[in-house]
């Protein structure tokens, strides 16, 4: 099915929850699963609830983004930050991601601080467009303990930056091509347009475009459904995450 924007848009109970938390926490692409719904627009703060199928909340995520400007001139880049606080008693997920990118949504650096239960880690990914590499640095006690590299395109994108790029492309009536999202390793992301749908957020009915999103990488393969509101900035309003246990949702808090 071809993706075509409308003309006006162009213009302008407990044990199971423990199981879910531990299951997704083991997936290296868990951050991509969260970021897939949380790509943001300029100077924006969005709040989301991570929900069990019954409606019980497993936690919340907050994503902030802003343009970097030089004096009174045009924007010269972007900054993004994602904070995730989820889990159940005895097992917490507290992740922090921050990234910087240029005005064309090409990544410069990604920083990750991850806490999954008792396990914690810190990493930094530095992008070098001239060498077409992304260098992954594992941080221990403030020092680089280990490094590795992957080959990337000249304009490579981390997960946060990629979702922002996707929103811009959709707002301009284009469906982005399949491309990698860098989160240490490279995960291939592909969007397929499935048509329009009505999403219920609280008491509001939202018109949204529905996409099947495939995320394929060295550690895991995921297929999600993402719903983007048909507004000027293509706000992501919901993601459906089908797992063997049940289908979970991440929903925009109105």
The pLDDT tens digits for 114-153 are 998 889 999 999 999 999 999 999 999 889 999 999 999 9
Give the residue among 67, 145, 139 at the shortest CA–CA distance from 110. 139
Structural contact between residues 240 and 249, judged by C-beta atoms closer than 8 angstroms: yes
Choose among 52, 68, 27: nearest CA to 185.
27
Regions of the chain with pLDDT less than 70? 1-42, 73
CA distance 35 to 38: 5
Tokens of 194: 């499935």
With b for 16 or more beta-carbon neighbours within 10 A and e for fewer, the 58-78 pattern comes to bbebebebbeeeeeeeeeebb
pLDDT at 21: 52
Provide the whole-model pTM: 0.81
Q: What pLDDT, on a 0 to 100 scale, did the predictor assign at position 91? A: 85
Quote the CA–CA distance of 169 and 55 in Å, as a whole number: 32
In degrees to the nearest 10, what's the CA dihedral of 126, 129, 130, 132? 90
Confidence (pLDDT) at 4: 55
3-state secondary structure 173-236: CCCCCCEEEEECEEEEEEEEEEEEEEEEECCEEEEEEEEEEEEECCCCEEEEEEEEECCCCCCE
**Per-residue pLDDT, 52:** 84
Contacts of 188 (CB under 8 A, 6+ apart): 178, 179, 180, 181, 214, 215, 216, 217
| Residues 227 and 209 sit within 8 Å (Cβ to Cβ) | yes
The DSSP bridge partners found for residue 98 are: 81, 111
Element (H, E) at 22: helix 14-26
């Amino acid at each position: 099915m071809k993706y075509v924007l409308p003309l006006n848009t162009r213009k302008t109970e407990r044990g199971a929850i423990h199981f879910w938390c531990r299951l997704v926490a083991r997936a290296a692409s868990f951050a991509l699963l969260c970021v897939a719904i949380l790509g943001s627009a300029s100077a924006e703060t969005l709040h989301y609830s991570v929900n069990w199928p019954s409606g019980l909340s497993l936690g919340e995520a907050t994503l902030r983004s802003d343009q970097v400007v030089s004096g009174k001139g045009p924007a010269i880049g972007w900054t993004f930050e994602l904070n995730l606080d989820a889990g159940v008693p005895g097992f917490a997920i507290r992740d922090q991601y921050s990234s910087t990118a240029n005005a064309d949504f090409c990544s410069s650096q990604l920083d990750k601080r991850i806490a999954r239960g008792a396990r914690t880690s810190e990493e930094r990914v530095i992008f070098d467009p001239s060498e077409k590499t992304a260098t992954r640095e594992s941080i221990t006690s403030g020092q680089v303990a280990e490094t590795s590299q992957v080959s990337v395109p000249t304009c490579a994108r981390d997960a946060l930056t990629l979702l922002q790029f996707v929103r811009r492309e959709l707002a301009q009536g284009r469906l982005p091509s399949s491309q990698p999202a860098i989160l240490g390793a490279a995960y291939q992301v592909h969007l397929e347009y499935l048509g329009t749908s009505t999403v219920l957020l609280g008491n509001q009915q939202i018109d949204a475009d529905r996409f099947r999103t495939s995320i394929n990488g060295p550690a895991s393969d995921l297929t999600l459904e993402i719903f983007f509101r048909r507004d000027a900035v293509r706000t992501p309003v919901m993601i459906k995450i089908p797992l063997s246990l049940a289908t979970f949702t991440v929903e925009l808090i109105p």
